[in-house]
Chains A and B, each alone.
Chain A
Amino acid sequence: MKLPKYQLSSSDKLLTFEFISEGNKGMIHKIVKYQATHYKNIYNLAFGDKDYSTGDIDDTSISNNGDSEKVLATVGSTLYAFTDKYPDFWIYATGSTVARTRLYRMGITKFYSEIAIDFEILGERNDDWEPFQKNSSYGGFLIKRKKN
């Protein structure tokens, strides 16, 4: 996706990423974490704010720094880095609220033609999975890198 993104830092294993959001509320350190779920080869993608002075992570804050599209594009780029290292893993993602999940769905819809080149995307609806359809309402997403 040819969108503006922030510079990424990562742990050695590419499980934890960090970037700095710059906007109308200043500089906010963001952490993106891929966490192993109970299911083999399925990792949960989550992100939140890091307190730069303490290193504590806050996954409930709403920073509203005016750069949501750039933040989402940067989080999306971690998907490429993570799945480049772990090509057989699935990634589960959902928002902390219905509104946030809708925001993610809108982001996927907006760039679907590009994303679908590299990723298989399933949407969760009525406790079942289906291939992602634009503008459909989903509770969560399963994403896997295609073997091109």
Chain B
Amino acid sequence: MKIINELKKRNIPIVKIDKSLNKYDDIIIFPEKLDKANKKLTKSGLPKQWNK
């Protein structure tokens, strides 16, 4: 109960580990979205805030 209260306090969801999902970790399952993300990041560059 103490752990659950701590998780709730920190907004951390209780996640059930499902090993059948491991196969998706090392493959790109949303290639167009990743491509779009890479193009946008290249166009915008990294935030100047990071150089502070």
Chain A contacts to B: CB under 8 angstroms: 1, 5, 7-18, 31, 33, 35, 37-39, 42, 44, 46-48, 57, 59, 77-78, 80-81, 84, 92, 94, 96, 118, 122, 124, 127-129, 131, 139-140, 142
A10 & B34 in contact (Cβ 8 Å cutoff): no
Give the nearest-CB partner of B11 in chain A.
A80
Which of B21, B22, B40 gathers most chain A CB within 10 Å?
B21
CB-contact partner of A124 in B18, B40, B49, under 8 A: B40
A46 & B33 in contact (Cβ 8 Å cutoff): yes
Interface string of B23-47 (1 = CB under 8 A from A): 0110011101110111011111111
A129 & B41 in contact (Cβ 8 Å cutoff): no
Give the nearest-CB partner of A118 in chain B.
B11
CB-contact partner of B30 in A15, A33, A127, A128, under 8 A: A33
CB-contact partner of A46 in B22, B34, B44, B49, under 8 A: B34
Chain A residues with Cβ under 8 A from B52's Cβ?
none
B33 & A10 in contact (Cβ 8 Å cutoff): no
Chain B contacts to A: CB under 8 angstroms: 10-19, 21-22, 24-25, 28-30, 32-34, 36-38, 40-49
Distance in angstroms between the alpha carbons of A109 and B46 in the assembled complex: 23
B41 & A31 in contact (Cβ 8 Å cutoff): no
Q: State the majority secondary structure of interface residues on B.
A: helix
Q: Which 10 pairs from chain A and chain B are nearest by CB? A: A129-B47, A46-B30, A9-B18, A44-B37, A11-B21, A77-B13, A46-B33, A16-B24, A10-B15, A15-B25
CB distance from A113 to the nearest CB of B (A): 14
CB distance from A108 to the nearest CB of B (A): 15
Chain A residues with Cβ under 8 A from B30's Cβ?
33, 35, 44, 46-48, 57, 59
The contact sample of 7 A-B pairs, CB cut-off 8 A, is A33-B24, A35-B30, A37-B37, A44-B30, A44-B37, A94-B37, A140-B44
Chain A residues with Cβ under 8 A from B38's Cβ?
37-38, 44
